[in-house]
Amino acid sequence: MDLHAELQLLAGKRISVKTLAQESGVALRVAEARSAKEIRGAAFGHVLIAENGDPLRKLRSFDAALGEHAHIDLALLKFCYVDVKAGTDAKALFARYREALEKMQAKNPRTVFVHATVPLTTAESIRGARAGFRSGTAREGPRRRGLAATKNR
């Protein structure tokens, strides 16, 4: 199967690492935790942090959840589309993000930080999502998401 066909299979689906692993027959342990230090052994760790709508708080919470010398192989912070609004100074936020990640990298030199874009959306897709949440037809409710890490040390 070529890349285009594989991407067509994924289009429009909500996919998690856990689902991909299960469907591929891979034994992957997903560990829900309050901080990176709670993740023991090989696992895909997931920590709920801060709340959507406050990106600077989310950065501080990500830093606190990761800590220092966490022995995490990969770490990822995902901002939500509601973290960046029309009045957000994107350049200043990006500068704060870079500064925060540089400090975290210094405290965790063996960790690879994976960078992700803010999910792209349109006003129409937001209205549709809100209508789905109100009517109960949405696939999942709003979540506070943030640190996803793998640990293999």
Q: What is d(CA 48, CA 69) in angstroms, rounded to the nearest whole number? A: 20
Looking at residue 128, its pLDDT comes to 61
- pLDDT recorded at residue 75: 94
Tens of each residue's pLDDT in the chain, 153 residues: 777 777 777 776 677 778 888 888 888 888 899 999 999 888 888 888 878 899 999 999 999 999 999 989 999 998 988 898 888 999 999 999 999 999 999 999 999 999 988 887 665 555 665 565 566 554 443 433 344 444 444
Distance CA 31, CA 39 (A): 7
pLDDT at 65: 94
Sign of the dihedral defined by the CA atoms of residues 79, 118, 14, 113, in that order: negative
* The predicted structure's pLDDT at residue 51: 80
Report the pLDDT value the prediction gives residue 142, as an integer from 0 to 100: 40
- Name the pTM for this structure: 0.69
- How many C-beta neighbours within 10 Å does residue 84 have? 16
Domain-by-domain residue ranges, the chain?
Answer: 28-151
What is the token pair recorded at 96? 């704060």
What pLDDT shows up at residue 151?
A: 46
